[in-house]
Amino acid sequence: MDLSITVNGIKFPNPFLLGSGPPGTNARVIAKSFDAGWGGAVAKTVSLESSKVVNVVPRYGKLRSRNNGEVIGFENIELISDRPIEVWLEEFRQIKKDYPDHVLIASIMEEYDKGRWQELTRVVQDTGVDAFELNFSCPHGMTERKMGSEMGEHSDLTEEVTGWVTEVAKIPVWAKMTPNITNIKEPASAAVRGGANGISAINTILSVIGVNLDTLRPMPTVEGYTVPGGYSSQAVKPIALRMVSQLALSLPKETSISGIGGIETAHDVIEFMLLGASTVQICTGVMLKGVKMVDELQEGLAKFMTEKGFNSVQEIVGKSLPYFSTHMELVSRMKEAKRHKAGEASRDNEWAQKDITEKTAELTSN
Ligand SMILES: Cc1cc2nc3c(=O)[nH]c(=O)nc-3n(C[C@H](O)[C@H](O)[C@H](O)COP(=O)(O)O)c2cc1C
């Protein structure tokens, strides 16, 4: 089945992209993923001076299900790419030469300096990449140099820096949002005012994954100490879905959305698309399950389309958005449906300590 979709004038063979991070950390791993069936990749974020990027070990931490040990949450304190820009430029060229029909998106980040941002944009653009993703969202480490989410948390900076890039970019520009903000619509519309063609959401959520009760040290522990890091994987999906739907309901129709956060299955992909994403990105899922996970994504999306009668991936995008409402309207809909008694029969007064778990189950929809 044809799973292709055209976004900002770029034809994606399918909507599945590697998210910026370890899955796109060099040309070898990107090529392997393209061979495995991924439609595109957002490479690991690059900057002009990799020597300033020094990573720590360990830099990941997992939250596991109490029942079966499955990883449901993941924290990282990893920085952007520590590989020299010259190496990346060569690899971007090579990937586009070997895989002209796959979509290669360069994620870029720089300090608050117009000359540096524009230089980075120019040199990367010259390699033939298909689009840019501006990393305004890495929530740790880079912020100490006023980079990443330091920009995405301030809409005036988001607009200004996006404008610097779009002034020289001849290819589409997506801006990647941080969720560590009260109202995601503000930096997203600032990026659109700066000329962004698309919004990627979300980057990771600031977190502390746990504390070791033997050593009393918070994790991940580096020489006895830690810093709060970025939270990803299954547990963040509801927050990402909420933010993607808010963006889709508020941004201009022509602004594309790339949905990110906790995606592991075709089911997750379809949810993001129904709420307005035209592509999706997967980072932690690939780190935990490997690139072959794309087989299930392709099969699952094709099966869903056949079962529901969708003729193209584009038709799915935003299909569930009309069903967001307000609380007042939900109450009046229940009244119209003569179901208001259901609301009254579960008033707070009737909760009793002994049946709290039953009451919870009674009021749960899935
Ligand atoms: C180890 C790790 C490294 C990451 N590095 C980057 C990065 O360099 N640039 C970036 O924009 N996002 C980076 N991210 C964020 C992911 O691209 C993604 O936005 C986030 O993890 C949520 O998606 P997921 O649940 O599929 O991982 C990184 C995430 C992880 C887990």
Q: What is the pLDDT of residues 180-228, one digit of tens each?
A: 999 999 999 999 999 999 999 999 999 999 999 999 999 999 999 999 9
Do you find a cis peptide bond into 184, omega within 30 degrees of 0? no
Q: From the candidates 138, 147, 165, 263, which is the catalytic residue?
A: 138
């600031």: which residue's tokens? 206
Phi-psi region of 34 (alpha: psi -120 to 50; beta: other; left: phi over 0): alpha
CA of 22 to the centre of ligand 1 (A): 8
Distance CA 338, CA 80 (A): 55
What is the band of 113 on the pLDDT scale with cuts at 50, 70, 90?
very high
Nearest CA to ligand 1 atom 14: 21
Cβ neighbours around 27 below 10 Å, total: 20
What is the band of 354 on the pLDDT scale with cuts at 50, 70, 90?
low
Name every residue whose Cβ is closer than 8 Å to that of residue 35 and which is 6 or more positions away in sequence. none
Per the document, the length of the chain is 366
CA of 270 to the centre of ligand 1 (A): 20
Which of 16, 17, 18, 20 to mutate to test ligand 1, by most ligand atoms within 8 A of the CB atom?
Answer: 20
- Strands, E assignment, the chain: 5-7, 10-12, 16-18, 40-42, 60-64, 71-76, 103-108, 131-135, 173-176, 198-201, 205-207, 210-212, 217-219, 229-232, 256-260, 279-282
CA of 250 to the centre of ligand 1 (A): 25
Which of 140, 202, 231, 232 to mutate to test ligand 1, by most ligand atoms within 8 A of the CB atom?
Answer: 232
245 secondary structure, DSSP code: H
Distance CA 291, CA 25 (A): 13
- Given a cut of 70, whether residue 345 has pLDDT beyond it is no
Q: Which of 118, 214, 97 is nearest to 160 (CA)?
A: 118
pLDDT of residue 147: 87
Name every residue whose Cβ is closer than 8 Å to that of residue 108 and which is 6 or more positions away in sequence. 45, 46, 47, 117, 120, 121, 124, 132, 133, 134, 135, 165
- Given a cut of 80, whether residue 71 has pLDDT beyond it is yes
Q: What percent of the chain has pLDDT over 70?
A: 99
Report the atom number in ligand 1 closest to the C-alpha of 80: 8
Nearest CA to ligand 1 atom 5: 21
Distance CA 15, CA 10 (A): 11
Beta bridge partners of 133: 107, 174
- Strands, E assignment, 116-221: 131-135, 173-176, 198-201, 205-207, 210-212, 217-219
- Given a cut of 70, whether residue 234 has pLDDT beyond it is yes
14 secondary structure, DSSP code: S
- Given a cut of 90, whether residue 359 has pLDDT beyond it is no
What is the band of 33 on the pLDDT scale with cuts at 50, 70, 90?
very high
Distances (CA, A) of 327 to 91, 238, 322, 335, 365: 51, 19, 15, 13, 16
Decide: residue 270, CB within 10 A, 0-12 exposed, 13-18 middle, 19+ buried.
buried
Higher-confidence residue: 23 or 358? 23
pLDDT of residue 339: 77
pLDDT of residue 120: 98
Q: What is the pLDDT of residues 148-159, one digit of tens each?
A: 888 999 999 999
Report the pLDDT averaged over residues 283-308: 98
pLDDT of residue 17: 98
CA of 177 to the centre of ligand 1 (A): 12
pTM of the model: 0.97
Nearest CA to ligand 1 atom 31: 284
Q: What is the pLDDT of residues 118-169, one digit of tens each?
A: 999 999 999 999 999 999 988 887 787 888 888 999 999 999 999 999 999 9
Task: Kindly list the protein residues whose Cβ atom lies closer than 6 A to any atom of ligand 1.
Answer: 19-22, 44-45, 74, 76, 78, 80, 107, 135, 138, 176, 203-204, 232-233, 236, 260-263, 282-285
283 in catalytic set? no
Q: How big is the chain by its Cα radius of gyration, in Å? A: 22
State the average pLDDT for the chain.
95
